[in-house]
Structure 1
Amino acid sequence: MKQIILAAALTLAATAAQAQYTGTYGTGSNPNSHPVQGHVTSSGAYVAPYVATNPNSTQRDNYGATGNVNPYTGAVGHRNPRY
Structure 2
Amino acid sequence: MKKIIIAAALIAASFAASAQVYHRGYTTSNGTYVQPHYQSSPNGTVNDNYGTQGNVNPYTGVYGTRPRQY
Instruction: Write the distance in 1 (CA, Å) between the matches of 2:66 and 2:37.
Output: 17
* Cα 1:63/1:43, change in 2 over 3 Å: same
Q: How many residues align?
A: 53
- The TM-score, its normalising length taken from structure 2, stands at 0.67
Instruction: Write the distance in 2 (CA, Å) between the matches of 1:52 and 1:67.
Output: 16
Deviations 1:9-60 (A, max 9, x none): xxxxxxxxxxxxxxxxxxxxxx400111000112211000000011001011
Sequence identity, in percent?
47
- The TM-score, its normalising length taken from structure 1, stands at 0.58
Match of 1:73 among 57, 60, 64: 60
Instruction: Write the distance in 1 (CA, Å) between the matches of 2:68 and 2:36.
Output: 23
Q: CA deviation at 1:81?
A: 4.6
Instruction: Write the distance in 2 (CA, Å) between the matches of 1:68 and 1:56.
Output: 16
Match of 2:40 among 53, 58, 72: 53
User: What RMSD in Å do the two structures reach over aligned CA positions?
Assistant: 1.6
Mark the runs of 5 or more structure 2 residues left unpaired by the alignment: 1-15
Larger Rg: 1
Mark the runs of 5 or more structure 1 residues left unpaired by the alignment: 1-30
